Amino acid sequence: MAMLEVKNISISFGGLKAVNDFSVTIEKGQLYGLIGPNGAGKTTVFNLLTGVYKPDTGTILLDGKNITGRSTIEINQDGIARTFQNIRLFKELSVLDNVKVGLHNHFKYSTIEGILRLPRYYKVEKQMNERAMELLKVFELDSVADYKASNLPYGAQRKLEIARALATEPKLLLLDEPAAGMNPNETAELMDTIRFVRDNFDMTILLIEHDMKLVSGICEKLTVLNFGQVLTQGDTQTVLNDHRVITAYLGE
Amino acid sequence: MKKNKLLIQNSITYAIIIGCWILVQILASTGHMTSLMKGLLVPLCIYVIMAVSLNLTVGILGELSLGHAGFMCLGAFSGAFFTNCMANVIPSVQVRFFFALLIGALVAGVFGILIGIPVLRLRGDYLAIVTLAFGEIIKNLLNAIYVGMDQSGFHFSFKDTTSLGMDDTGVVIIKGAQGITGTPKAATFTIGIILVLLTLFVVLNLINSRSGRAIMAIRDNRIAAESVGINITKFKLMAFSISASLAGVAGVLYGHNLSSLAATPKNFGYNQSIMILVFVVLGGLGNIRGSIIAAVVLTMLPELLRGLNDYRMLIYAIVLIVMMIFNSSPKAIEMRSVFMDKIKKNRKEAA
């Protein structure tokens, strides 16, 4: 069964059809790319998948479960986590705490237990710290765990956002322009990280990206979006050589 | 390592409070305490609790609330009301005061939730304005209400005492604008300090727990917090109502420190809310120890300057401005860090 099955979703804002009749099927463990010129509706698709917007029509199935119209929080608990195009970290919290917020729904104790510092607080906090440090180690952020998140360099902030998303133990990870603002070296490193996450966390990944080197380097399949509609979908190389795709990006 | 640092920081805060208590006890027993200072001790505790609890809303949750005195007002009235109602049932003043504290916290907390449900949907300036309005509504309602008690139960009225329609066993407890009179003066400095410690315990432990992290995550980035599955409404309400119920505790302390309690603009009006907000902002948003110090300094200052008569509020204002600049202006922070580095260097050389 497919991990994500989107069938004919549409949404319009006023008279503008931002996403029109969008369908996609992503298999478990796939690295899937969503590309298209600026304003094509890629981030809107992400917002539809994560429940920020509710689709006007169509259905979204995650691992066989219908998640259409559910709230952002519920969808996260169902198993979709995301990062953002413009980094959204908890700036005043430490790097470690950022990840621990991600663990919120998986390691629980009540507020009362927290305030009274009952034994369960110490036990669960210890488990949380261990799990968070494990995740930070994967992204080589364990040495800066005590830093304020806003003091990290740009590339590390991107990584921390992925670590935080993974902390929610998703089945599907959505990355919104992970390489934006990175230099070629950082991008190359990011490609390794994304592959590593897919292999070691047994993750299905859908990403939006403009950097064609990254897209052709790691994505197995692509969907091209133009003016809210699917232009073409298929294997990365076939799609990238499609003249319609080149026209959409560069014009006639 | 980081955890130990936190523990040390929190212990310092507790130690400061206990140190103050010991200092006051010594001064009092050696007779160095003027009656003016003695009268200030309980209000100091009240303002510290108010500042710390407001910091939970403004600094930790990141929502500007201008109605904090309203919750204090609710706590004061419900606490004093309980103490007066139960005068015949529970003879011990201390026991009644203890239950009054619980009831004050509960009432203010419940109102915190009730008011929070509509108000926390707003953000920024709008939230501030609506909380301001709620604070005023609470104060004015308590200013107008008459409540009496007789054999058949409680009687309410918004007109006057005669329209309560009680039989001859009736006692009027809340007399409109006159408020509640005859509350026993049960609040002492020691009880005040215990309540301050309790407030600190709740707030500091909350901040460093799972719920506290969720609250701060909402403050830093609401959309991201939602995307990792944090229930925004629940944690906003939690922070707001805990903050309100702690203000209620401060209110009960206030109500039991005066024999007559009335809701006037001076004690529960928006000026009071603003004043507490000044403590919080001056002490640093999210900085609990800062709130305590600011509350103490700014409460003592006008009293200590009483001798200067006309110039007193002028000096207060100047001190406020200077402290704000010293605390928050980027240049001043830079100068401070340079100064601290120099001291560190000198110490190293000396060692």
B66-116 pLDDT, tens per residue? 999 999 999 999 999 999 888 888 888 889 999 999 999 999 999 999 999
Q: Tokens 């608990």 sit at which residue?
A: A77
- Which pLDDT tens digit goes with each residue over A208-218? 998 888 999 99
Query: pTM for this one?
Result: 0.89
Q: Find the helix packing angle between B312-328 and B330-350, rounded to 10°.
A: 70
Q: A128 to chain B: nearest residue by CA?
A: B210
pLDDT, chain A, mean: 91
Residue-wise pLDDT tens digits, B259-275: 888 888 888 888 899 99
Residue B212 dihedral angles phi and psi, to the nearest 5°: -60, -40
- Alpha carbons B189 and B280: distance in angstroms, whole number: 22
User: Residue B261 forms beta bridges with which residues?
Assistant: B180
Burial class (CB in 10 A: 0-12, 13-18, 19+), B22: exposed
A31-45, A204-218, A225-239, B309-323, range with the lowest pLDDT: B309-323
Q: What is the pLDDT of residue B125?
A: 84
Q: Which of B58, B113, B210 is best to mutate for the A interface (most A CBs within 10 A)?
A: B210
* pLDDT, greater one: B156 or B351: B156
What mean pLDDT is predicted for residues B178-204? Answer: 92
Mean pLDDT of chain B: 88
> Using the beta-carbon criterion (under 8 Å), do B213 and A107 form an inter-chain contact?
no
Q: Is the dihedral of CA B42, B43, B45, B50 positive or negative?
A: positive
Structure tokens at B161: 């005492």
Q: How does DSSP classify residue B184?
A: -
Cα gap B25→B20, rounded to integer Å: 9
**Is the per-residue pLDDT at B313 higher than 80?**
no
Nearest-by-Cβ selection for A102 from B201, B219, B228: B228
pLDDT (mean) for A146-164: 92
From B228's Cα to the closest Cα of chain A, the distance in A is: 6
pLDDT at A242 over 50: yes
Q: Tokens 């440090």 label which residue?
A: A133
* Yes or no, beta carbons of A107 and B210 under 8 Å apart: yes
State the Cα angle at B294 between B191 and B73, rounded to 5°: 55
Q: In this predicted model, what pLDDT tens digit does every residue of A17-30 receive, in sequence order?
A: 999 999 999 999 99
Cα of B216 to nearest chain A Cα, Å: 8
User: Which of B205, B213, B221 comes nearest A115 by C-beta?
Assistant: B205
Instruction: Note whether A73 contacts B231, CB cutoff 8 Å.
Output: yes
Asked if the model's pLDDT at residue B18 lies above 90, the reply is yes
Instruction: Write out chain A residues lying below 8 Å of B219, CB-based.
Output: 92
Answer yes or no: do A89 and B220 touch at CB < 8 A.
yes
Taking CB atoms and an 8 Å cut-off, how many pairs form between chains A and B? 98
Pull the structure tokens for residue A58.
């169509």
Residues A73, A52: Cα–Cα separation, whole Å:
10
pLDDT above 90 coverage of chain B, percent: 50
* pLDDT at res. A241: 87
Stretch B188-194: mean pLDDT: 93
pLDDT average, residue stretch A223-239? 90
For tokens 């009301």, what's the residue? B81
- Burial class from Cβ neighbours inside 10 Å (0-12, 13-18, 19+) for residue B172 reads buried
Distance to chain B for A222, nearest Cα, Å: 25
Q: Is the pLDDT of residue B1 over 50?
A: no
8 Å CB contact between A221 and A32: yes
How high is the pLDDT of residue B3?
A: 62
Percent of chain A with pLDDT strictly greater than 90: 72
Question: What does each C-alpha distance from B164 to B79, B86, B145, B261 come to in angstroms?
Answer: 22, 20, 11, 20
Give B150-181 pLDDT, tens digit per residue.
877 788 888 777 777 777 777 888 888 888 88
Best mutation target among B209, B220, B226, B228 (most A Cβ atoms within 10 Å) is B228
Q: How close B63 gets to chain A, by Cα (Å)?
A: 15
CA contacts within 13 A on the Cβ side of A30: 21
Residue B52 has pLDDT above 80, yes or no: yes
Neighbours of B37 (CB within 10 A): 16
CB contact under 8 A, B209 and A116: no
Asked whether residue B2 carries a pLDDT value surpassing 70, the answer given is no
User: In chain A, what residues touch B211 (CB-CB under 8 Å)?
Assistant: 111, 114
Note the pLDDT tens digit of each residue in B319-334: 888 887 877 778 888 8
- Residues of chain A in contact with residue B234, where contact means CB-CB under 8 angstroms, are none
Indicate yes or no: CB of A114 within 8 angstroms of CB of B229: no
Exposure b/e, A136-153, CB count within 10 A at least 16 = b: bebbebeebbeebbeebe
Name residue, tokens 């979908």: A233
Residue range B229-246: mean pLDDT, rounded = 94
Whether residue B241 contacts residue B112, with contact meaning beta carbons closer than 8 Å, is answered with: yes
More confident of the two residues B160 and B197: B197
d(CA A24, CA A60): 10
Q: Percent of chain A scored above 70 by pLDDT?
A: 100
